[in-house]
Amino acid sequence: MRCPFCLHLDSKVLDSRQTEEGGSIRRRRECTACHRRFTTYERVDEMPFLVVKKDGRREPFSRTKILNGIMRACEKRPISLETIEQAVDEIEREVRSSLEREITSTYIGELVMDKLRAIDDVAYVRFASVYRQFKDVDSFIQEVQQLRKDR
C-alpha cells in the first residue's frame, strides 16, 4: 500500500478490525520509510451500479459523492464523522440491496434526505435547498414548515 505522505510503496499492518457492519476491514498501517501511520479500508469489489441522472446521463455509483454531499450539509454542525459514515453505509447498503442495476439519482437523493432528517434539521434543510433547487424564500419556508409539522 502506497504511503499517502511520502509515496513509498511498502507499509506494515499494525492493526486490522472489521467495521461494525462487517462490510469492510479497517487496517492501521505504518510506512516503512517515513514511519508515519495511516488508515486504509478494504471492501469487497461488488458489481457496479449505474446512477441515472435527471437529464438521462448514466454514471457509476459513487459512495464518495454521497459522503461529500452529506459532509457539506453537516459542515459546522455537531455531527460526528462516525454518524456521517454510518449514514453513508446505510444508504449504500440500501442501494446495493436493490435488485436494480440502474438507480435514479432521485431515489438516492431521497435516501440522503431521509437520513439527514433523522440526524440534524439544519443539515437536512441545507441539503434539501440544493437538492430540491429552491427558487425563492417561500420554497425554503415551506420546507421548514413541513419539517416542523413532521416533528
pLDDT digits (tens, 9 = 90+) for 40-73: 989 876 677 899 999 999 999 999 999 999 999 9
Tell me, what's the pLDDT at 136? 75
pLDDT value at position 16?
94
Computed over every residue of the chain, the mean pLDDT equals 90
Q: In what order do the strands lie in the sheet with 37-43?
A: 11-18, 24-31, 37-43
- By 3-state DSSP, what share of the chain in percent is helix, strand and coil, each rounded to 5? 45, 20, 35
pLDDT digits (tens, 9 = 90+) for 116-132: 999 999 999 999 888 87
Q: Do 30 and 60 sit in the same domain of this protein?
A: no
- Walk across the sheet containing 58-60 and list its strands: 58-60, 50-52, 102-104
Listed in sequence order, the residues at least 6 apart from 145 whose beta carbon sits closer than 8 Å to its beta carbon are: none
For residue 15, the enclosing domain spans: 1-45
Do 41 and 57 fall into the same domain?
A: no
- pTM here? 0.66
Residues 76 and 110 in one domain: yes
Same domain, yes or no: 114 and 80: yes
